[in-house]
Amino acid sequence: MDSAALLEKAQNGDIRAFHTLFSEFQPQLKSYLYRLVANRDDMEDLAHDVFILAFENVPKFRGEANLKTWVFTIATNRARKHLKDQKRWSTDTLVRTKEFAHSNPDVMSTVDHASRYAPHRIYEIREHIDYCFTCTSKMLPVEQQLALILKDVYSFKVKEVAVILDKTHGAVKHLIYNARQTMMRIFDDTCAFVSKQGVCSQCSELNGRFNPKQDRRAEEMKIKMVRDRDKYDRTGLYKLRAELARGIDPLHANGTDLHEAFLRINHQVNAVPR
């Protein structure tokens, strides 16, 4: 059955037809929500709510945008409400997380447990770079975070992002520009892969702790951003980061469970008054 026929059935109350349509972009939708909220349980709750809301409202869908864009609009509105109740992550989150973990043996033991027994526990540097991209995006104002993730990770066009965010084309371009500038500035200050003065050595440290048999240097050199970093300016390096993020599903990667453990600590750190 083609999409038009499935949509007609869905608009007449056929939930199986709607599920068939929804399932075509459900993996992307879930990973999008996960990047925004950085918590698997919250993501699952939001994804369930989005499915119900979309099904209830699909009779009103008139095709002004495609169905995927329409559903992502619903998802973005739900995520926006959720994120309003959370503090924006501080720009020194990764440093504070490391200090917090090392000073709290119980916290570190949960990470060690995940690294030994969780199904998806393999530490890979390229996945950790993606994890850092997600964390850094949570240091942005919410509207910038939404615009940047939609455009640079999920490849929506600016006009589609404008529909999803209910903003003008110009406003969206401004959000994306400011978000990229902030991301690059944070990476300049914290990532040794980008700046020789970077203070973050997490990738190499964590590789040694959780994957000691892996040749760190060999793994780093597989990553274009690291291998060719001297050839790129900060804008080029940002584009390589976004390209890497687009190629990773944070919910089904080799180190998903390990990074989920890291993210839970990030949430703890940012919930503590400074």
- pLDDT 10s digit of each residue in the chain, 274 long? 789 999 999 999 999 999 999 999 999 999 999 999 999 999 999 999 999 999 999 999 998 889 999 999 999 999 999 998 888 899 888 878 878 887 888 888 888 888 889 999 888 878 888 999 999 999 999 999 999 999 999 999 999 999 999 999 999 999 999 999 999 998 887 765 545 444 454 555 555 555 655 555 556 555 666 667 677 788 988 998 899 999 999 999 999 999 999 899 899 888 876 5
Residue 192 contacts by C-beta under 8 Å, 6 or more apart in sequence? 198, 199, 200, 201
Task: Give residue limits of the domains in the chain.
Answer: 1-86, 88-274
Closest C-alpha to 198, from 181, 186, 208, 207: 186
What is the model's pLDDT at position 196? 44
Please return the burial class of 196, using the count of CB atoms within 10 Å of its CB with bins 0-12, 13-18 and 19+. exposed
Alpha helical stretches, state H, the chain: 3-11, 15-23, 26-37, 40-57, 67-84, 93-103, 105-117, 125-137, 142-148, 158-165, 169-190, 202-210, 216-221, 224-227, 234-246, 256-271
Closest C-alpha to 253, from 79, 168, 134: 134
Closest C-alpha to 28, from 133, 121, 153: 153
Alpha carbons 44 and 239: distance in angstroms, whole number: 29
Alpha carbons 183 and 145: distance in angstroms, whole number: 10
Contact, 135 vs 93, CB < 8 A?
A: yes
- 3-state class of 191 per DSSP? strand
Alpha carbons 65 and 253: distance in angstroms, whole number: 31
Alpha carbons 71 and 53: distance in angstroms, whole number: 9
Alpha carbons 172 and 88: distance in angstroms, whole number: 20
What is the model's pLDDT at position 193? 53
Rounded (5°) CA angle 142-129-136: 20
Question: What is the chain's alpha carbon radius of gyration, rounded to the nearest angstrom?
Answer: 20
pTM as predicted: 0.90
- The listed CATH number (1.10.10.10, 3.10.20.30, 1.10.1740.10, 1.25.10.10) that belongs to domain 1-86: 1.10.1740.10
